[in-house]
Structure 1
Amino acid sequence: MGAQVRMAVAEPIRSRTPLIGRDDELAEVRMRLTDPRVRLLTVTGPVGVGKSRFVAALAEDVSPAFEGGGGYLDLTDTEPARDLDDLVAESMTDLSTAASGFPALPRDQRFLLVLDGCDRLTATLATRLTGLLSAYPQLTVLVASPARLGIYGEVVVRLALLQVPDPTQAADPAALSQIPAVRLFVERTQAIRPDFRLTDANQAAVAELCARTDGLPLAIELLAARMALSSPQRLLAELDRDIGSLAGSGSDTLSRHHSMMAALESSLDLLSADERLLIGRLAVFAGYFDAAAAAAVGGTTPEQTCQLMAGLMDKNLLRTAECPDGDLIFRLFRLTRRYLLQDLQQTEDYRAIRRAHAEYVLALAASGPDSRGLDRAPQLELVGSWHEDILMALTYLDESGDKVSMGRLASALRDHWRTGWLTEGIRWLTGSGRLTPQGAGVLGELLIEKARLDAAEHGYSGDLVAADRLSGTEQGAALLDLAGYLFAANHGEQASRLTEAALREFTRHQDMRGIAHARYVLADIASSAGDRKKAIRLCRKALSGLRELPDPAGHAAGLERLAVLLIGGPGCARKELEQAVCALGAAAGLRASTGHVAPPALSTAVVYAESLARAWLGDQAVDECLAAGAAQPADRAIAEAITPAERQPTVRPRSLARQRNEHLLTRREWEVAELVACGMTNREVARRLGIAEWTAVNHLRKIMRKLDCSSRVQVAGWITQRGRNAHDEAEAG
């Protein structure tokens, strides 16, 4: 092996402490660099990531594998115009020139040339190194650069940021100390404070500090240097106030930059004027954004934006993440954003950029679940990042006095608030002034979900939403939405009171659809309370009110609702049953002709009601009634449905009490079975009998086992069939 050549132009930055968190990268790059097919390897990454230390450690490790030796050239202070020619052109092209301090490169032995400090010379180096690599076929060049050189055959290695902890996840000090960013902070702190340890008291602040740096080694070392007279908690407060607190000296870091502000400015100096303008505006985003978002705040065309962002990515000023569909999203490094945001806030364009940002977030929120909207964030596990931008947009709209847009944005974020931000969602909605019906409904749902039913009711009757913020049919719709949530939460009395208020508001403004909707809700409440007659009466009135409106879907739903009530009663006259089944047939005909599909809950209820009707009337009679109903014009079907059928002797399942002992059902089991045959749910059965829902479930299981039934429908069928037999026997007797 030839002599190891050492040059005199500069000394490499030697790592006097171990490189933390770089073992895998060193192994991978070592393997690539020793491959004879790799002639040029560029180590790149954001400023402060430790490129110089990495290439120095790597060169020292691999240079013995190069029989011709290795050399190091620091170009930090080289002027692009002239000194580069002197040091590169003369020293590398006419390598016999002793004045260069660099011996001749061997042509027949592998030689490793390390170039550091190339920040301002990437364009010139690309030309010079192309010729040099052609002239010396045994030469391998290792470059530390803020951006790739763009030479054919160049292998680019981007140094990753050190892994940081998640401040929101609890971890014991021992586990936290193994995370590379924390390990670096602790080791550098112990160099000046040997007694420092991670404890339960300081671990949260240390985790947050490391997260704020994004795992940038320079920032972590500068933070650790301040621990001589400080604490993690105090450092966190200082960092919140001023990024300039990240400063030190040559004794604190081996980096050529002794402050983060100087490091960031040196990186930004490499940008073109257009790139600098765009990245300054991108600081308005707190989290990830895509190219469309960048164009929205950048004031550039999509094509220009993509071109400029490509340049920012090459210079390692943007972080990227890949979406499931392959698209890229971007974000600024936290410290870079802090630095740029301070400058942006001093510009005349700041408010206009904030407005553009808020409008973009609003457009995303309103774009719905099937588009590239905010609900992609949960799928990409970026909800927290989007959350920051949501709050920024809402804050701007609030401060600018645009309560209408603020309310629209807060209302459109229903699903987002429900992923863990209920309190914030309620706060923003209640502060939005007059809400739309959608916003009022979202607020009600959030309040219900947070188990604040009293506050929710108060909100819709007074301070939160009520008459001083909504008026007319908007108020009615808001009250009705909340009533629905209250009813679903088993607060029937409150739901009934709000629905009555909504009905009065709709009636005052002659809103027939609103009136019908309110009556349907009241019918549901009455049915749940066991007042079937009232429920049927309300349902008929609602359907009658819709009769003159051109609303096939509403007509179908009304017919189905009424039929379900008629069939599910505890005592059913045959004529009533036939009328109800005809209504189901008419509804099916309307849905078939218009393509409207019943909501899932109503569709399930219709299927169940039809199964009960078949148990009462038999398949042939039901099929005939369905066909007759489907053949009727809608107006005639509605007219017949809202006209009570003639009363005839009814078949009452409760009359089966005489036969209790025949199948060993207890008295309570008979009561449960009869109510199941009426179409009641377990909850409704429990409410009617005054027992717990779980008790009702247990009774039903015992009934199914004794009757050898596998479903509720079979239990209902058995009960109704036995009821028909009992009725026939009574008439025969």
Structure 2
Amino acid sequence: MAAMTKTSRGRHDGGLPAEVTSFVGRRHEVAEVRRLLAVSRVVTLTGPGGVGKTRLAIRAGQEVRRAFRDGVWLVELAALPVDTRGAGTDLVARAVAGALDVPDRSAAPPLTVLTNHLRGRQALVILDNCEHQLAPCAVLADTVLRAAPEVRILATSRQPLGITGEQTLPVPPLSLPDCEAPHSSLEAFTQGEAVRLFAERGRAAHPGFAVTEDNRDVVCRIVRRLDGLPLAIELAAVRLRALSARQLLDRLDERFRLLSAGSRAVLPRHQTLRALIDWSYALCSQEEQLLWRRVSVFAGDLDLEAAETICSGDGIARRDVVDLLIGLVDKCVLTRDDHQESVRYRMLETLRAYGAERLARCGEADTLRGRHRDYYRGLAGLARAEFFGPMQLRWLRRLQAEHANLRAALESSLTEPGTREDGLSMATDLLYHWLSSDHLGEGRGWLERGLAVVRSPGPTRGRALWTAAWLAVIQGDITSAAAMLREGRSIGERLGDDSILMYVELFDGQVAMCEDRAEEGLRHLERALERHCCTGDPTGLALTLIRVSLAHSFLGHPERAVAAGRECLAVCEAHGEGWHRAYMMMALGVDLWRQGELKQALGMERKSLAFNRSLGDLLGAGITVEVLAWIAASREEFQRAARLLGIAGTVWATLGARMSGFGYLAGYHDACEDRTRAALGERAFEAAVERGARLDREEALAYALQEEQPARDQGGGAEEPARLTRRERQIAELVAQGLTNKEIAASLVIAQRTAEGHVEHILTKLGFTSRAQIAVWVRDEGSAGQG
């Protein structure tokens, strides 16, 4: 972080350096440090180098110093040599004693001198950068805390001290904007922690720099590329003296050479990003260094099984991988993330790039990329083989978690001449991943890229053609789908391959249905059903029965529609399958609605939507919300029907096609819209549709399932003002007037600490990071009240 200057050590509050640059963000982390210090005598801030542990510790120390009669003292340990034998306690004790101005004249051991000095004192000692003197720091902290009951210790380290009573607080990178989300106001964008730090340091480097509407996307990408790492952002911002923001972004691939202009006043290891990470690397054992290099081959994050399979061998035994992972987590090289059913490990991009560079230098990059490619290709095949069964939901969630690695494996496979057919097969195996996630367009892209380089008319190409055709149908590209199916049929007939022909027949039926050739479509579907029954493929059987049921319902054959539906549900239940079952319930709900069985139809659609929601299946959710809108209109719940149409419209816009894959049902949509518009009137109808369209995905699904009434759906755009207590609203209004905490306390005749606590609660409740955001919120609330 930025350089700091020391104040006089003779004052009780003078053991901390003065901040010479602004402190950005970390409001919640500072509050958490204060809370932990109130309940524990030793707190350790952990995190990778450059994440801002030192600045956070110093700011927290400044805010709590009134609670420590004998001062808050910073002890900088970074300049001490690495302790490799756990025997450096004297060295650390001398450093602490020097920081506290304890005379070093006694013949007694330094730790004894220090504990004698601290006994009976009320002080906070900040031990900064403990990782390279971990064992000595642990011994010192434990000894001091036992000898001096009113002393507390706040440590910063890349791994915990490991002593009794220690509370740890992982320090995350600064909060990052979402570059893909719809644009918020420029004011809100610049209040984000990473953006604000970049903007302030950028202005310091080049006074004419500012974040504007013109460069906000570039700034967003810069801070995301730098992982929200404060040191990296500060070093990057310095380059604005000579580069524009766009030039800086274009050169970030050379980040280790570019970001090398830190202040000469700070320690050498903080002067360059490379030196900082070199420092972390040197603290790892040889085996941990080896694993760091190998883990860099992963994109995004990884799980234990993948690490054991890909990274073991040639110096790392498989059984040792878990301990080495734990070591890298302890040293903050990896971050542990808890997922629903597993633990995953994530590495900051900056650390990953460093590891990849070292991996290439060691000549292992090609080997590790090959292992990575083979592992994820095998994972995709296993997922497809086990998809239709009780492991289905687990597999789909796992594939979603592995998306970045799957993408990297596909890229590698389709780039290497000898692995392209395997890559096309992998893209095909991931069919249900593409269908049930937000990556449908990407999936079609991978398939078409593979089809462009794998021209041999064999089983791999035949299977990929009908798979890509299905995705094309969902996207409304019926012409392309029909062309791919014609080629797929030709390959299937030449090979005599029923596994290709039965799916071609199925999707030929879908194409015919979408082209208003319903009778012909049903004939294709029934031929597909015969083939699937003969081959014993439960996935294809269920898929075909769903389409057969919808076709019979559409053609006015309710008994046949229900019979096909019941057969499909029986197949799914026999295998413990959920995805096709959810689509079948949607289809049965359509037929029940057409027969006027509205309560039963509603129950079917809700069950279907609940499953699709648990999976994150946008297509499944979209068609089910559509049917719920039709049901609502039939029940004369026209406001609800219009909002549901707005929600569904957002889904179809995202997928790029109206009624994706179910276009032949569009007449039901049109009838629902016409009836609802007539009941509400044009203006009210459009307003209700717009309210539905404005809801985010979770709010929209909760509304569709009638779980809750979203705040934005309660008749206006503002959130419910009652979220704050009367006193908190009073204080929020004073903040909006520009009063400081001290002035608020004087105005309300309360303690300044009480005022500070109220402001902190307001920020937390509203999810804000600055007083300016409170002011905007108060203004908006006032406008809403007047409206």
Fold match, TM over 0.5?
A: yes
Q: Residue by residue, what CA displacement relative to the aligned partner does 1:205-239 show, whole Å, maximum 9, x if unpaired?
A: 10111111221110110111001121222111100
Q: Which residue of 1 aligns with 2:491?
A: 467
Q: Distance in 2 between matches of 1:453 and 1:549?
A: 28
1:333 aligns with 2:348: yes
1:320 aligns with 2:336: yes
**TM-score normalised per structure 1:** 0.64
Give the drift of 1:604: 6.3
Q: Which residue of 2 aligns with 1:305?
A: 321
Task: Please give the residue correspondences for 1:615-654 in structure 2 after superposition, counting only pairs within 5 Å.
Answer: none
Give the drift of 1:376: 0.9
Q: Which residue of 1 aligns with 2:443?
A: 425
Give the drift of 1:482: 3.3
Q: Distance in 2 between matches of 1:320 and 1:135?
A: 35
1:488 aligns with 2:513: yes
Q: Which residue of 2 aligns with 1:52?
A: 54
Cα pair distance change 1:90/1:319, threshold 3 Å: closer
Cα pair distance change 1:548/1:285, threshold 3 Å: closer
Q: Which amino acid aligns with 1:48?
A: G
Cα pair distance change 1:339/1:135, threshold 3 Å: same
1:40 aligns with 2:42: yes
Asked if the contact 2:92/2:136 (under 8 Å) is kept, the reply is no
1:41 match: secondary structure: strand
1:131 aligns with 2:143: yes
1:121 match: secondary structure: helix
Cα pair distance change 1:338/1:120, threshold 3 Å: same
1:18 aligns with 2:22: yes
Q: Distance in 2 between matches of 1:56 and 1:429?
A: 53
Give the drift of 1:393: 0.4
Q: Which amino acid aligns with 1:30?
A: R
Q: Which residue of 2 aligns with 1:98?
A: 105
Asked if the contact 1:78/1:84 (under 8 Å) is kept, the reply is no
Select which of 351, 356, 360 maps to 1:345: 360
Select which of 110, 117, 125 maps to 2:122: 110
For the aligned residue pairs, the C-alpha RMSD in angstroms reads 4.8
Give the drift of 1:396: 1.6
More helix by share: 2
Task: Please give the residue correspondences for 1:97-176 in structure 2 after superposition, counting only pairs within 5 Å.
Answer: 97-98=104-105, 105-171=117-183, 172-176=185-189
Asked if the contact 1:66/1:110 (under 8 Å) is kept, the reply is yes
Cα pair distance change 1:470/1:454, threshold 3 Å: farther
Q: Distance in 2 between matches of 1:470 and 1:6?
A: 91
Q: Which residue of 1 aligns with 2:403?
A: 387
The percent identity for this pair of structures is: 25
Unaligned runs of 5+ in 2: 1-7, 596-662, 677-787
Q: Which residue of 2 aligns with 1:407?
A: 424
Asked if the contact 1:163/1:215 (under 8 Å) is kept, the reply is yes
Select which of 233, 244, 247 maps to 2:260: 247
Q: Residue by residue, what CA displacement relative to the aligned partner does 1:25-52 show, whole Å, maximum 9, x if unpaired?
A: 223323433x3x6332222211001222
Q: Which residue of 2 aligns with 1:452?
A: 477
1:273 aligns with 2:286: yes
Task: Please give the residue correspondences for 1:415-564 in structure 2 after superposition, counting only pairs within 5 Å.
Answer: 415-418=432-435, 419-430=437-448, 431-432=450-451, 433=454, 434=458, 435=460, 438-462=463-487, 466-467=490-491, 471-473=495-497, 476-477=501-502, 479-490=504-515, 492=517, 521-522=523-524
Cα pair distance change 1:471/1:405, threshold 3 Å: same
Q: Residue by residue, what CA displacement relative to the aligned partner does 1:531-561 show, whole Å, maximum 9, x if unpaired?
A: xxxxxxx99xx98x9999999999xx99xx9
Cα pair distance change 1:61/1:11, threshold 3 Å: same
1:62 match: secondary structure: helix
Cα pair distance change 1:6/1:190, threshold 3 Å: same
Q: Which amino acid aligns with 2:380?
A: A
Q: Runs (4+) of structure 1 moved beyond 4 Å?
A: 4-8, 10-13, 89-96, 99-104, 251-256, 300-303, 371-374, 545-554, 594-605, 691-701
Select which of 66, 77, 80 maps to 1:78: 80
Cα pair distance change 1:128/1:372, threshold 3 Å: farther
Asked if the contact 1:322/1:329 (under 8 Å) is kept, the reply is yes
Q: Residue by residue, what CA displacement relative to the aligned partner does 1:231-264 show, whole Å, maximum 9, x if unpaired?
A: 2221111002443212213169789501111111
Cα pair distance change 1:484/1:24, threshold 3 Å: same
Q: Distance in 2 between matches of 1:427 and 1:109?
A: 68
Q: Distance in 1 between matches of 2:493 and 2:363?
A: 35
Q: Which amino acid aligns with 1:176?
A: F
Give the drift of 1:308: 1.5
Cα pair distance change 1:301/1:521, threshold 3 Å: farther
Give the drift of 1:373: 5.7
Give the drift of 1:67: 2.5
1:77 match: secondary structure: coil
Task: Please give the residue correspondences for 1:175-324 in structure 2 after superposition, counting only pairs within 5 Å.
Answer: 175-250=188-263, 257-299=270-312, 303-324=319-340
Cα pair distance change 1:550/1:54, threshold 3 Å: closer
Q: Residue by residue, what CA displacement relative to the aligned partner does 1:639-698 show, whole Å, maximum 9, x if unpaired?
A: xxxxxxxxxxxxxxxxxxxxxxxxxxxxxxxxxxxxxxxxxxxxxxx99xxx97789999
Asked if the contact 1:212/1:334 (under 8 Å) is kept, the reply is yes
Cα pair distance change 1:546/1:194, threshold 3 Å: closer
1:143 match: secondary structure: strand
Cα pair distance change 1:699/1:84, threshold 3 Å: closer
Cα pair distance change 1:120/1:448, threshold 3 Å: same
Number of residue pairs matched by the alignment: 548
Cα pair distance change 1:75/1:250, threshold 3 Å: same
Q: Distance in 1 between matches of 2:674 and 2:186?
A: 53
Q: Which residue of 2 aligns with 1:359?
A: 374
Farther off after superposition, 19-28 or 428-437: 428-437
Cα pair distance change 1:235/1:47, threshold 3 Å: same
Q: Distance in 2 between matches of 1:252 and 1:238?
A: 26
Q: Distance in 1 between matches of 2:93 and 2:192?
A: 45
Cα pair distance change 1:217/1:465, threshold 3 Å: farther
Asked if the contact 1:6/1:71 (under 8 Å) is kept, the reply is no
2:337 match: secondary structure: strand
Asked if the contact 2:198/2:234 (under 8 Å) is kept, the reply is yes
Q: Distance in 1 between matches of 2:250 and 2:182?
A: 21
Q: Distance in 2 between matches of 1:38 and 1:141?
A: 9
Asked if the contact 1:20/1:180 (under 8 Å) is kept, the reply is yes
Q: Which has the larger radius of gyration?
A: 1
Q: Residue by residue, what CA displacement relative to the aligned partner does 1:8-39 show, whole Å, maximum 9, x if unpaired?
A: 9x985542123211222223323433x3x633
1:144 match: secondary structure: strand
Cα pair distance change 1:415/1:175, threshold 3 Å: farther
Q: Distance in 2 between matches of 1:601 and 1:64?
A: 64
Cα pair distance change 1:551/1:305, threshold 3 Å: closer
Q: Distance in 2 between matches of 1:153 and 1:177?
A: 39
Cα pair distance change 1:143/1:595, threshold 3 Å: closer
Asked if the contact 2:493/2:501 (under 8 Å) is kept, the reply is no
Asked if the contact 1:444/1:485 (under 8 Å) is kept, the reply is no
Asked if the contact 2:160/2:330 (under 8 Å) is kept, the reply is yes
Q: Which amino acid aligns with 2:347?
A: L
Q: Distance in 2 between matches of 1:133 and 1:106?
A: 9
Q: Which residue of 2 aligns with 1:629?
A: none
Q: Residue by residue, what CA displacement relative to the aligned partner does 1:598-657 show, whole Å, maximum 9, x if unpaired?
A: 99599969x99xx9xxxxxxxxxxxxxxxxxxxxxxxxxxxxxxxxxxxxxxxxxxxxxx
Give the drift of 1:283: 0.9
Q: Residue by residue, what CA displacement relative to the aligned partner does 1:360-408 show, whole Å, maximum 9, x if unpaired?
A: 3234333255257662168xxxx5x743322210122223322342122
